[in-house]
Structure 1
Amino acid sequence: MRYLIVFILLLTSCGGGSNGGTDNNITSPPPTPPVLNEVCIDYAERIKRCSFEWDNIQRTYYLKIPSQASNNNNLPLLISMHGYGGNALSHINYTNFKNIADREGFYLIYPQGSNLPSYLGGSTHWNVGGWTSKSTTDDLGFINKVLENVAAKYNFNENRIYATGMSNGGYMSYALACNMSDKIAAIASVTGSMTNDTYNDCAATRPVPVLQIHGLRDVIVPYLGNEGSKSISDVMEYWAQNNSCDLEPLRAVTDYEDFAVYYDYYQNCLNNADVELILSSKMGHTWPWSYNEGFSASEDIWRFVSQFNLFGKI
């Protein structure tokens, strides 16, 4: 009798019975949502301000929800990062991505950099090595956590996550391309570059499409580089090699009355992961707009990155 009971128990636990364990009425419980430990408030129309503690620092980001967003769509997402000493709110205003996001349909994340310790000046920054090498802030982990939190609440296309930024934010875009190439589909840097640390330790595991926007009159991040930062030519060559592109770019020029804008296209890249440089002869350390520089960085950035997903050109 004892063996009969054991046999019945084993048969039951293995799914035995009249339907052979294919009972369609048996459903798994829904997955437990992740514990976000963040607080979000409405900051402006369709913009939320979210804060949470990361690595013992209170961190903040702003999330722009496009007008086309719904529970059923699968829109792309752009991370846009401010420069050294800047902040997310001013970056929201001078980039004007929010209007493009409503027009084109994509989510926008504006993360806020943390402050350096007071003995290092206390400026807001992104930890990219170089002049920020004494920082202990885990910005890569912070950005990754922001993406996890947003993904838990909104249905965006995780194969179409893009990163951009100005100056130190541009440097951070390259750090993301090097360290999170499994998540970041394409990047664009405005007046940024790669620190020696990012350049030497870059570990991209796939071709990453790259757009660099720069000015020959930039004295903050010089085109020719400096002690802690690579030249723009070195940066472009690095990504052309990483993406298996032709190393000699095709150049186009738009001439204006007192300046020129050069467009360098590195072609025939693996997975069509293009590398592109927009170089202005008169531009300094600024975010360019059509009315003063002959082209709009924001429009060109979206034109470029939106062509790609994690697997190459769409």
Structure 2
Amino acid sequence: MFLPTIISITFLFGGLFTDALPSEGRKHNFLRNGKLPIPTRDSTHVITVTVEEDNTSLGGFERPKFIEREFTVFDPVHKRKGNAKRPLVLAYHGVMSDSETMRQLTQFDREAKDRGWVAAYPQGEWKFSEKMTNWNGAGCCSQGQDDIAFTKDMIDYIVKHFNVDENEVYVTGVSNGGFMVYRLLCEMGDRENGKPWISAASVHSGLLGAWQADFSSCSISTDTSLVHFHGLADPVVNITGKPEGKQELLPFAPVTNAEWKSVNASIDYVAEAMCGSNAITSTSNPTESTTCHQMCDGKVEYCMVEELQHMWSGCSDESLHMYDPNHATNVDATKYFADSFARHSSKKETNL
């Protein structure tokens, strides 16, 4: 039986071994002290970081703003082969959820163990009177924290401490976490080596949204692939989109005031950015309930699941609120996403 080892590591400003901050440029790197223990077997690390965000004005002086954030890393160390670097999957939970629920919902630990990857589960920031967690994915829900900076911090940290290939970083998200993945695609950009921060992405039950319908800042890398899953019966993030002010299933201000595109508009936007065309190049039916369309010769794909509501396709755990009652006949979204990431990696190696 798998018995995870929980290791809590807290990084505090001004610690004895605090790294020096960069003297110029956008400072997204967090402060840290201490060293990560080297695991000797399958293990889970719960890591707290202090992220430096945009400066804030205090008493007329511009001072750095710091906020503590947390993420969980699952490292199947027995799959390590020498010094070979491994891919990383980051999985973003939905609104009013948490990293541990996302871990149980998606079971990306399973794929990490089978494939020799590393899986990480970021924790959204508590907002709105400490009553809900969320990401500031464009369209929903909070703009308070800097989740772009937090994501870069996580990637840098995991690359350094878990022998991860910085050019093989995959992101996935559900609902508000899916909105966040679209925003990451739009705004993460490239590293200093010219390679994108995100190699491949997948979204479940999220859409391309915007604050005040401004998509002008969205710049998606042509080197990044995307797979999108959505239930045709989703009553929360409806496939037809949501104009500003329209009430949805969750009638509170962050959602009421948000807006997002339809599935077709979101996918068309990405495809146009990826290859300059929104033409469907192939169609498949992985199960009777699911139809998948490919665009850009497979670089962009979206799958629609009949009768699926705001749930994770293939989830068989009845204790979770995103449990899929038709999991036996619907596609296992986790495996489908992992397979798409693996194909992206294989194509990259072929093109070297």
1:58-97 → structure 2 map (5 Å cutoff): 58-66=68-76, 67-69=78-80, 72-97=83-108
For normalisation by structure 1, the TM-score amounts to 0.79
Q: Verify: 1:196 aligned to 2:210, yes or no.
A: yes
Amino acid at match of 1:276: E
Q: What is the match of residue 302 of structure 1?
A: 338
Q: What is the match of residue 150 of structure 1?
A: 158
Q: What is the match of residue 281 of structure 1?
A: 306
Amino acid at match of 1:126: W
Amino acid at match of 1:156: V
Deviates more, 1:247-256 or 1:180-189: 247-256
- Give me the whole-angstrom Cα distance separating, in 1, the residues matched to 2:264 and 2:167: 29
| Partner secondary structure for residue 89 of structure 1 | helix
Q: Is the 8 A contact 1:113 1:124 kept in 2?
A: yes
Q: What is the match of residue 291 of structure 2?
A: 262
Q: Verify: 1:251 aligned to 2:283, yes or no.
A: yes
1:15-26 → structure 2 map (5 Å cutoff): none
Assess, with a 3 A threshold, how the Cα gap between structure 1 residues 313 and 245 changes in structure 2: closer, same or farther.
Answer: farther
Q: What is the match of residue 168 of structure 1?
A: 176
Amino acid at match of 2:200: A
Shift of 1:292: 3.8
Q: Verify: 1:112 aligned to 2:88, yes or no.
A: no
- Give me the whole-angstrom Cα distance separating, in 2, the residues matched to 1:237 and 1:112: 30
Q: Verify: 1:184 aligned to 2:181, yes or no.
A: no
| Partner secondary structure for residue 279 of structure 2 | coil
Amino acid at match of 1:60: E
| Partner secondary structure for residue 243 of structure 1 | helix
- Map Cα deviations across residues 8-55 of structure 1 (whole Å, 9 max, x no partner): xxxxxxxxxxxxxxxxxxxxxxxx99575167689x941110002224
1:230-245 → structure 2 map (5 Å cutoff): 230-244=261-275
Shift of 1:154: 2.1
- TM superposition outliers: structure 1 runs of 4+ over 6 Å: 39-42
Q: 2:32 aligns with which of 31, 37, 40?
A: 37
Q: 1:139 aligns with which of 141, 147, 157?
A: 147
Who wins on radius of gyration, i.e. which is larger?
Answer: 1
Q: Which runs of 5+ in 1 are unaligned?
A: 1-31
| Partner secondary structure for residue 307 of structure 1 | helix
Amino acid at match of 2:237: V
Assess, with a 3 A threshold, how the Cα gap between structure 1 residues 68 and 216 changes in structure 2: closer, same or farther.
Answer: same
Shift of 1:293: 4.5
Identity of aligned residues (%): 22
- Give me the whole-angstrom Cα distance separating, in 2, the residues matched to 1:219 and 1:131: 15
- Greater RCO (Cα-Cα under 8 Å, separation 6 or more): 1
Q: Is the 8 A contact 2:49 2:69 kept in 1?
A: yes
Name the structure with the higher helix share: 1
Q: Is the 8 A contact 2:207 2:263 kept in 1?
A: yes
For normalisation by structure 2, the TM-score amounts to 0.71
Q: Is the 8 A contact 2:135 2:180 kept in 1?
A: yes
Assess, with a 3 A threshold, how the Cα gap between structure 1 residues 292 and 229 changes in structure 2: closer, same or farther.
Answer: farther
Shift of 1:122: 3.2
